[in-house]
Amino acid sequence: MRKWFHHEPSKWQEFQKRYEAELSSKGDLVLQIKKAEKEHGTITLLYSARDEEHNQAVVLRTFLEKK
């Protein structure tokens, strides 16, 4: 999916929807992240994209904040 997105801002909204759908299907992994956050207080999300506003970490952060 990230290859499809290729950090093209015109695809950002669709990328967000697709990535959130993928995250929704990974409930166990999301629970692990939320558990680690509870235990440690802070979770650091890493990404290698140059674009700080349009990357998978932004979508993941927003997704986790909703949970």
Q: CB of 15 within 8 A of CB of 59?
A: yes
Tokens at 48, concatenated: 């290698």
Q: Does the pLDDT at position 2 exceed 90?
A: no
pTM exceeds cut of 0.85: yes
Write out pLDDT tens, residues 4-63: 999 899 999 999 999 999 999 999 999 999 999 999 999 999 999 899 999 999 999 999
Residue 7: the pLDDT is 86
